[in-house]
Structure 1
Amino acid sequence: MQLQLRGSKSPLASLLLIAPFFLWGTAMVAMKGVIPHTTPLFMAGFRLLPAGVLILLTGGFMARPQPQGWKAWSWIILFALIDGSLFQGFLAEGLVRTSAGLGSVMIDSQPLAVALLSLWLFQEHIGFWGWLGLGLGVAGISLIGLPDELIIHLLDSGVNIPAFNWENLLASGEWLMLLAALSMAVGTVLIRFVCKYADPVTATGWHMILGGLPLWGISSAWESQQWQNLALTEWLSLSYATVFGSAIAYGFFFYFASSGNLTSLSSLTFLTPVFALLFGHLILSEVLSPIQWGGVLLTLVSIYLINQREKLGGNKNMTSVPEITPSISQSILEASGTKKVNSISVAVRESEPEVLP
């Protein structure tokens, strides 16, 4: 059994490609009410260990091969340490020490690091339109995540913004979110090396188990009251974040990352805060400001530019994962009850990616 995407232009292919980012965004919304009632490292481990078991069970059902040899296990252990323990640990600790907006901006800026690493290691072409798209993506998620008053203050006063206590940046935890973003970026690149020796599905499952064990070990030694204050609703939120926001989301993401253009795939991470924002608007009736809608628009434009950079630059020889091209943005905006913005749309296109067995 395998995931067939080659040449597919069906709505299912589009949904599978954007599924990880939708699930990550909605999982962040689900975790909002859980964080005050548990401890960060226990929560991080809970998102990894059960999810890894689910992925391995699914891989067994799909007859995916288990890792063989010391090289496979060495890469998986390194993958587990960086993308499992470090990423989830930094993320969980950062979430309780930073504002949700600024933290989200920092964690979702990791496509920049992925682009630089991919350029260095795999010589992936980025070009003018790609760099412009990455810049617009960071600007877009900044408009989404940062407080409106901070953005207005920046525009009015330039770089001098003492009212926001930037001197306490490290103490407030944003540096942990930056380390989490860098860990995820390195993990995204590592999957290419892991898949030289192991199947991407089973490797993802084992890396989540091996990455979650140290988090629970440290939690048991240093934290207390990890689950005593969790009510049924919090357990349900944790379960959603584990099954959908971890097992399914990471399974799809690393499957796609194992073959194709990492810069294009990673750029879809910019969709995560968009989905979180729109989900909060639709389900929780959160009011979105014009600045935030401007951020949504910039984010969708950035994804279009990154994924169409070869065509815009006149180079059509590019192998990549299924790319975003003009109708997801229209669907997102229309689903939220807003008007179409400049007819920008997004749909999933294939450029003949390599399909793993």
Structure 2
Amino acid sequence: MSEKRPVDAAGAVALIGVAALLAFNQVVIKVTGGGFGPIFQAGLRSTLGAAFLLVWMRAFRIPMSLPAPARTGALLVGLFFSVEFMMLFIALDLTSVSRVSILFYSMPVWLALAGHMLLPGERLTGRRMVGLVLAMAGVALAFSDRQSGAPSLVGDLLSIAGAMCWAGIALTVRVTPLSETRPETQLLSQLAISAPVLLVASVFFGEYFREPTALHWGGLFFQSIAIVCLAFLLWFRLLATYQANGVASFSFLSPVLAVLFGWILLGEQIGPAIWGALGLVAAGIYLINRR
């Protein structure tokens, strides 16, 4: 197995591109929500994403089956994935992209805390502890600001709950045999489990359609193809090529770009507290991930 190399110029450009796509996706979810109920939208996205991923895997002859020891882990991450996006899509339906992004991308905080308590090799170093404190201060500042970005207490809480579920996925993969399977197979299991879970859950959570137009359908297909498949697959390829700590250190860009996109494209009103919270969370994420 070849040794992974540090992130070079080409890798940095690709990582910035992936971060921008993931950030822009928050705006797309918000806009697409004008045509679909939030949970129904999430269920459709998982369904279409699974279909496109199946075609991709068949075209490149990537194994689709999971070994028996990995199936329990796959079920857990599929359920975490379902709840994560249920929380995220409802939160984006209730409040602004800027607020949701800052709180949702606090995921490394919860993963670092869980890893410190549960994984012997993930103890918090001095630098990571500083990052944790900064990011937590940013979350607290964003949560306390009730003026900027259409604040919603329920939306804020759901954003944090979604971040915790996201951390649960990463932790489950690390501690189960699922970590030994291909990333594409892991992603397929999450989509295949979340699609029926979310579609069934949508029965109990309001409307399915909100008079969708071509814009809303386009946003749904953009999420399913450009994000669920291509962006995630590119991220996996970058992780396979470059050192993991270098790749992870670019994750601070996603909340920064998401807030900027919400401000520029949606005209969201962002007060000084939200900008301050964004700076704290971004700095904290960088320090937590940079080894």
TM class by smaller structure: 0.7 to 0.9
Percentage of identical aligned residues = 23
What is the match of residue 26 of structure 1?
24
Q: Do the aligned residues in 2 keep the contact of 1:41 with 1:215 (CA within 8 Å)?
A: yes
- Report the Cα offset of residue 115 of structure 1: 0.7
Task: Extract unaligned runs of 5+ from structure 2.
Answer: none
Structure with a larger share of its residues in helix: 2
Higher relative contact order (CA 8 A, sep 6+): 2
SS in 1 for 2:63: coil
Query: How many angstroms apart in 1 are the aligned matches of 2:14 and 2:62?
Result: 19
Say yes or no: does 1:96 pair with 2:93.
yes
What is the match of residue 201 of structure 1?
184
Q: Do the aligned residues in 2 keep the contact of 1:148 with 1:291 (CA within 8 Å)?
A: no
- Report the Cα offset of residue 13 of structure 1: 1.5
Q: Do the aligned residues in 1 keep the contact of 2:18 with 2:231 (CA within 8 Å)?
A: yes
Instruction: Identify the match of residue 227 of structure 1 among 171, 185, 209.
Output: 209
What is the match of residue 54 of structure 1?
52
Structure 2 CA distance for partners of 1:228 and 1:256, relative to 1, 3 Å: same
What is the match of residue 272 of structure 1?
254
- Report the Cα offset of residue 183 of structure 1: 0.8
Query: How many angstroms apart in 2 are the aligned matches of 1:116 and 1:264?
Result: 20
Q: Do the aligned residues in 2 keep the contact of 1:51 with 1:208 (CA within 8 Å)?
A: yes
- The amino acid across from 1:187 in the alignment is I
Number of residue pairs matched? 288
What is the match of residue 135 of structure 2?
137
Query: How many angstroms apart in 1 are the aligned matches of 2:3 and 2:11?
Result: 6
Query: How many angstroms apart in 2 are the aligned matches of 1:17 and 1:118?
Result: 25
What is the match of residue 227 of structure 2?
245
Q: Do the aligned residues in 2 keep the contact of 1:204 with 1:254 (CA within 8 Å)?
A: no
What is the match of residue 107 of structure 1?
104
- The amino acid across from 1:92 in the alignment is F
- The amino acid across from 1:91 in the alignment is L
- The amino acid across from 1:46 in the alignment is L
Q: Do the aligned residues in 2 keep the contact of 1:23 with 1:245 (CA within 8 Å)?
A: yes
Query: How many angstroms apart in 2 are the aligned matches of 1:40 and 1:140?
Result: 27
- The amino acid across from 1:94 in the alignment is A
What is the match of residue 73 of structure 1?
71
- Report the Cα offset of residue 233 of structure 1: 0.9
Q: Do the aligned residues in 1 keep the contact of 2:91 with 2:155 (CA within 8 Å)?
A: yes
Query: How many angstroms apart in 1 are the aligned matches of 2:264 and 2:94?
Result: 27
Query: How many angstroms apart in 2 are the aligned matches of 1:113 and 1:104?
Result: 15
Say which is worse superposed, 253-262 or 197-206, in terms of deviation: 253-262
Say yes or no: does 1:118 pair with 2:101.
no
- Report the Cα offset of residue 43 of structure 1: 0.8
Q: Do the aligned residues in 1 keep the contact of 2:145 with 2:273 (CA within 8 Å)?
A: no
- The amino acid across from 2:51 in the alignment is V
Query: How many angstroms apart in 2 are the aligned matches of 1:261 and 1:183?
Result: 25
Give the root-mean-square deviation of aligned CA atoms. Answer: 3.8
> 1:75-121 CA deviation, whole Å, 9 max, x = no partner?
222211112x1111122233334454443333222211111222322
TM-score (norm 1): 0.66
SS in 2 for 1:229: coil
- The amino acid across from 1:65 in the alignment is P
Instruction: Identify the match of residue 190 of structure 1 among 142, 155, 172.
Output: 172
Q: Do the aligned residues in 2 keep the contact of 1:95 with 1:103 (CA within 8 Å)?
A: yes
Choose 1 or 2 for highest CA Rg.
1
> 1:184-239 CA deviation, whole Å, 9 max, x = no partner?
110012223253452221221232122111111232x3356523610111111222
